[in-house]
Amino acid sequence: MPSIKDFFIYICGLKSLISFKIKMPQILYFAIIFILVADFGLERYLALLNIKHSKTKLPEILSDIYDAEKYAKQQDYFRTNASFGMITSSFTFVITLGMYVFGGFGWLDQFLLQYIDNDILRSLAFFGVIFLINDLLTTPFAWYDTFVIEERFGFNKVTPAIFVLDKLKGYLISGIIGGALLSLIIWIYQLTPEYFWLVAWSVITAFSLFMSMFYSELIVPLFNKQTPLQEGELRTEIEKFANKADFKLKNIFVIDGSKRSTKANAYFTGFGPKKRIVLYDTLMDKMTTDEIVAVLAHEIGHYKHKHTIKNMLVSLPTTLLLFFLLGLILKSNDLAIALGGSEASFHLNVLAFGILYSPVSLVLDLLTNVLSRKYEYQADNFAADYGFGNQLVSGLKKLSATSLSNLTPHPLYVFFHYSHPTLYQRVINISTNKKL
């Protein structure tokens, strides 16, 4: 017969709280499933909105980019990619959901536990197996995208040999750099669980800074050839503008982007003496000298406004928050059990945390995109202030035309996914600048 104490415990709900720990793995399991399904549903909704909105008539200010035939081709390219993206993402979602629903990750953990005693090696094997299986399952889709879709629309320059070699190089880089970094992070956790979040954050920050400075020198040459821009009209005009803008520039490189695609691009990378401007050879083939200088003026505008440093300063507290929260739950048996494991393990807990953290990550990404779009306006205005507004507009239009870009994305899709303003927004912004 229940006592008076039991009665009051039941009435107050304390009995439920006492059994809360027993139910926690189930709660976490359903939370993970819910987040996965909700994220997939949101992405499908946004994709469908974007597909429907692509039929919108082009604004007058962009009407000169495509003629009727080219616009029909652009619409075909966009819908083909959108439909194919829906198929690939749905396939990935079903596989991922199945792994969580049926405890596939927990089974893999238990399987590896039979053969590998060392925690670091077991985590490396766990993530290595997942990486390889995922890559093997998605490679046919990547192959189809490259050799069917991109080939059909005249973009692809990749040969089967380059495709395979890129894959092998990717494996090697992921294995060496990713494996070493993961091993270090796990070792830090084992060494100092209490201060794991702070030390791991410091290591990742230092690594990110190092890669920002040396990525073009260490990683890019493994995939592409970079050569200094030769003396001539283009280099002279670039250097003339750099001097005018009080921007010390020595490193101007041309990258063989045509090795893989006909699409054009340019980017700025590095800090201090390591900063460099990289031009795709396809960009040089499609743009005039003034247009290229205008695009580079935009990139220099990012540097002059200290956008790279500002982005890094923004990322520091967000990364710190991530590691702080991760450090709190790495010992949780409940998270591991929710994935089908028997006890806490670094890899299972990290995997579960990644899903549970994704709503926070989504909010942070949205805020980052808002800030990024603001920075793009500022860089555009920098170029316009030096009299390159018209040239930047014409250059951006050429880039859109040659890549068959969607010029009428849905505003909500832009809000969630675009780190840059739309071309229409950028052209309107540049056109209102007084120093065109």
Residues acting as catalytic residues: 299
Contact 246, 302 (CB under 8 A): no
SS3 call for 276: strand
Q: Give the helix ranges, DSSP H, for 219-345.
A: 233-244, 281-286, 289-304, 307-329, 333-338
Q: Both tokens of residue 341?
A: 């494991």
**Cα distances (angstroms) measured from residue 95 to each of 47, 131, 401, 426:** 20, 13, 36, 39
* Of the candidates 81, 122, 57, the residue with the CA atom closest to the CA atom of residue 345: 122
Region for residue 343 given its phi and psi (left: phi exceeds 0; alpha: psi -120 to 50; beta: otherwise):
beta
Alpha-carbon Rg for the chain in angstroms: 26
In whole angstroms, what is the distance from residue 421 CA to residue 377 CA?
Answer: 8
In whole angstroms, what is the distance from residue 175 CA to residue 178 CA?
Answer: 6
In whole angstroms, what is the distance from residue 13 CA to residue 17 CA?
Answer: 7
CB atoms within 10 A of CB 331: 14
Contact 39, 93 (CB under 8 A): no
